Amino acid sequence: MMKVDLCGIELDNPVIPASGTFGYGYEFAELYDINILGTLSFKGTTFHPRYGNELPRIAECASGMLNSVGLQNPGVDRVISEELPKLSRVFSKKVMANISGFSVDEYCRVAEKLNQVEQIGWYEVNISCPNVHGGGMSFGTDPKLAAEVTKAVKAVSEKPVIVKLSPNVTDITEIAKAAESAGADGISLINTLMGMRIDLRTRKPVLANVTGGLSGPAVFPVALRMVYQTAKAVRIPVIGMGGVEKAEDVIEMMLAGAAAVEVGAANLTDPLACKRIIEDLPRVMKKYGIRDLKELTGGAD
């Protein structure tokens, strides 16, 4: 049995493409039937359109990559009028809306706009983006600010609110508990770790933004540790992510306490990554004597 529950909504399996790595979903429908997915978290959306950061935005590194895209998106109105109708033609399940802002008010305005979209099942409130200035991660590194955003979005939301946390903190459980106390229905983590690269020829940072977010297999052990700690600190569901590349990683994340698992950078190197992982889960479950994935969550005590 691969079905899991996420904030009261049943998923056929726990695998979810992570925001920022899967566009608005319909792009990948040209490669395979994306209805195989548990759900998907679409590209981070702000109230106004954003160009994002200057180029270059991507830098390679061993066992991962750095990105500094900076929340490039067409703005919530165009997402509603153009992007989501395209997605609805190829995906029949509820989707996760990743929302961002530069003020508490902006987060709320985006949520209020998206309330009208029936296909959206959850809000993933991104208080963890390291690549924008004056927003994103600034809310996710202070328990009081995290609670303030959570409480405000929860007050206007007609969907379950999942708060996405930054790993760039001393104690991630304090942020998680603050979000939970403010009414969060779930927690997702981790977003990317801060990093940088320097070009030896120019002796300057590779990224125009100087720093960027590190993702890929290099971050998996860090992500797993933080999911484990957070799942023990809160009573609400946790979505684990960070360096997940194969079915075994999904099982490991769930044992650490995740109710569902997002796949990020792997989609950029292998567009069929999520399909491959889902199709391989039954084999891995059989290998380790697992009959029901729901029974795994938090099993690594």
Give residue limits of the domains in the chain. Answer: 4-53+70-194+214-296
H-assigned helices in the chain: 76-78, 84-88, 104-114, 137-140, 143-156, 172-181, 220-233, 247-256, 266-269, 273-287
For residue 73, what is the DSSP state? B
For residue 219, what is the DSSP state? G
Question: pLDDT tens digits, residue range 26-56?
Answer: 999 999 999 999 999 999 999 999 999 999 9
State the pLDDT at residue 141: 87
Q: Token pair 């390679």 is at which residue? A: 60
The kind and range of the H/E element at 162 are strand 161-164
Nearest to 83 by CA among 23, 31, 15, 36: 23
Cα angle vertex 34, ends 267, 166, to 5°?
A: 45
Mean pLDDT across the chain: 95
The Cα 64–Cα 277 span in angstroms is: 19
Contacts of 203 (CB under 8 A, 6+ apart): none
User: Exposed/middle/buried for 72, CB within 10 Å: 0-12, 13-18, 19+?
Assistant: middle
Tell me phi and psi for residue 136, to 5 degrees: 60, -110
- With a cut of 50, list the residues of the chain below it in pLDDT: none
The residues that are catalytic are: 129
Handedness of CA 226, 227, 233, 238 (dihedral sign): positive
Superfamily of domain 4-53+70-194+214-296: Aldolase class I (3.20.20.70)
State the pLDDT at residue 30: 96
The Cα 111–Cα 46 span in angstroms is: 10
Q: What is the CA radius of gyration of the chain?
A: 18
State the pLDDT at residue 140: 85
The kind and range of the H/E element at 263 are strand 260-263
State the pLDDT at residue 130: 57
State the pLDDT at residue 136: 54
State the pLDDT at residue 3: 98
User: Exposed/middle/buried for 171, CB within 10 Å: 0-12, 13-18, 19+?
Assistant: exposed
Angle between helix axes 172-181 and 220-233 (nearest 10 degrees) is 40
State the pLDDT at residue 137: 56
Amino acid at 298: G
